Amino acid sequence: MIRVSIHTEAFDIAAEAAMLERLGVGAVATFTGIVRADDGVTAIELEHYPGMTEASLSDICEEALQRWGLAGCTIIHRVGRMEVGEPIVLVLAAAAHRAAALEACAYLIDRLKTDAPFWKKEYRDADAVWVEAKASDTQRATRWD
């Protein structure tokens, strides 16, 4: 089971995890990304390429299902403006055992950060700046090659 969703509203972590728990697995690993107030950031805005972004996320999920024998995975990503403290992304991986679920969850977020077409703008008081991809994200993602 693969579930990919991109929308502006906040998501319900417990409800999303419960969908995967009903698959009868032994482990569901989760990752939630939250807007941080790093360097005076007050809000962020995310844009994406509709259709292409969902396809990219689905491909990442499919790879994780095959690689770790997952029963299911979910990626929910928000777009639009989000304030500090709001959730941005939810990644879940369901597997028979914890090691596979945890590794797959890490893989999903690492690949999402580098392979999915999202663009981020950070707001600091009256200033707004588009953010370049981080070299550290690229480096983390290469560990899965």
pLDDT digits (tens, 9 = 90+) for 115-139: 999 999 999 988 999 988 888 888 8
Given this model, what pLDDT does residue 125 score? 81
The structural architecture, per CATH, of the domain 2-142 is Alpha-Beta Complex (3.90)
Given this model, what pLDDT does residue 8 score? 97
3-state secondary structure 79-136: CEEEECCCEEEEEEEEECCHHHHHHHHHHHHHHHHHHCCEEEEEEECCEEEECCCCHH
Given this model, what pLDDT does residue 106 score? 97
What's the mean pLDDT in 21-47? 96
CA 31 to chain centre: 7
The DSSP bridge pattern shows strands 43-48 and 80-83 to be antiparallel
Given this model, what pLDDT does residue 39 score? 86
The half-sphere exposure of 137 on its side-chain side, counting CA atoms within 13 A, is 13
52-89 residue pLDDT tens: 999 999 999 999 999 999 999 999 999 999 999 999 99
15, containing H or E segment? helix 13-21
What's the mean pLDDT in 93-108? 98
Enter the pTM of the model.
Answer: 0.94
124-133 LR contacts (CB < 8 Å, sep 24+): 124/39, 124/40, 124/41, 124/42, 125/40, 125/42, 128/45
d(CA 140, CA 2): 23
The residue extents of the domains of the chain are: 2-142
Given this model, what pLDDT does residue 21 score? 96
pLDDT-derived band at 3, boundaries 50, 70, 90: very high
Q: Which of 96, 119, 134 is nearest to 47 (CA)?
A: 119
Percent of the chain with pLDDT over 90: 86
